[in-house]
Amino acid sequence: MSDPLDDLAGVSNEGFAQQRKIELVHFAEVNPDLNSRGVIKGLINAGETSLIVGAPQSGKTFFTLDAALHVAGEPTWRGHTIRNGSVVYVAAEAGRGIINRVAAWKMRHGYYNQDSEAAGASIPFASTTCAIDLCHIQSFPNDLDRLGTAIRTAQHDNSLGPLALIVIDTVSRALAGGDENSPADMGTFVFAMDTLRDAFGCHVAAVHHLGKDSAKGVRGHSLLTANLDTVISTAANGTGFYATVSKQREGQSGAVMPFKLEMVRLGYDRDDEPVTSCVVEHMKNDDAARDPKKAPKELSETAQLGLAQLYNCASKYVTPLPASDHVPNGAKGVKIEEWKQYLFKAGLINQDAGYRTQFKRMCATLQSAGYIGIWDDWVCINH
């Protein structure tokens, strides 16, 4: 049988999605499949699809990127054995913003040679940095074909090997103006996920947003989650973030994976200002993560967004606070005025009128729930 990678022209001219073959497995051929298909064993498998979903600033992209990079280069992730393979990360939302996140991970995990101009060790990971449309794929050529062809070209050039994982981040951006609530548009996106899964024999994961009312779950038409094998939800809490396995078609759901974001200084820009990004630091499954009664109080949507803006502010302005009778050793924080400016820009408090009352209410909510501390001109982040 000829290798399809030997004929890249066929991929380009015929259309990637049009090459899907439908295989029949006959009764006499069915035997127990004892070979592990675990990409991250016990969590996601080859030949399946998953969704990582969370509210804005719930750490879902950092969480997903950390897992993806481990699949490409590390033997384990959070205690799970990894079947290593090549990874393609479709950064449809972050675009070139994904570069500094990957650079931070490289620094933290020893893949970046900071002492010389020579490149450090490499792993089979590649990312797109442009917009991509996986909804309007009825005509050829289209972005599903272009993505498949780009991957096969990289495999032909040996810059990528057999794929273990493709990540699409996010569903909304990959719909490219399609209607999330339309069964036709969401069905086309699911078809694109399935096409990539079947063509490369890998796991395909997508990153998605919760709706405005987080209690109602995943945004958009329900056929997305109905067709998935695994769903992982991310959220913020007083110790950082946590991811919960909320659906496992073939396994046990309910596992909790706490994590926090650690800032990494990448260097300095032309104005001699520090350039930073974050990496995921895995935390242990403590009692608070396992027992909702011991977990920090759930926040309103406004309070969650305010906390998210505090994290955004801290990523640029966080400062170690001097220890005192009021501030514990190792505490970090930002100036209250700096955080307030982020809240103004996000429209969470009204700069023209009434903002003092709004801001005091937000501070009181976050402080009483244990997320922050206030001292003098500083807001302390209780990680």
**pLDDT per residue over 210-254, tens digit each?**
876 655 678 888 888 888 999 999 988 766 888 989 888 877 778
Q: What is the mean pLDDT of residues 109-127?
A: 73
Of 22-36, 111-125, 194-208, 233-247, the range with the lowest mean pLDDT is: 111-125
Going by pLDDT thresholds of 50, 70 and 90, the confidence category of residue 182 is very high
Which residue(s) pair with 380 in the sheet?
333, 373
Q: 71 or 378: whose pLDDT is higher?
A: 71
The rounded distance, in Å, linking the Cα atoms of 256 and 277 is 25
Annotated domain spans of the chain: 4-289, 299-381
Q: Which of 81-90, 102-111, 206-215 has the highest mean pLDDT?
A: 81-90
Q: What is the pLDDT of residue 283?
A: 86
Question: How confident is the prediction for the chain on average, in pLDDT?
Answer: 83
Using CA atoms, how far residue 138 sits from 11, 17, 59, 133, 146, in Å, is 17, 10, 34, 11, 13
Q: 262 or 89: whose pLDDT is higher?
A: 89
What DSSP element (H or E) covers 73?
helix 60-73
- Burial class, 182, CB count within 10 angstroms (exposed 0-12 / middle 13-18 / buried 19+): middle
Instruction: Determine the Cα angle at 120 with ends 118 and 126, to 5°.
Output: 115
Q: Provide the residue type at 171 as one letter.
A: V
User: Which tokens go with 134?
Assistant: 């996986």
Q: Which of 205-219, 260-274, 310-324, 343-357 has the highest mean pLDDT?
A: 260-274
CATH code of the region 4-289:
3.40.50.300
Structural fold of domain 299-381: Arc Repressor Mutant, subunit A (1.10.10)
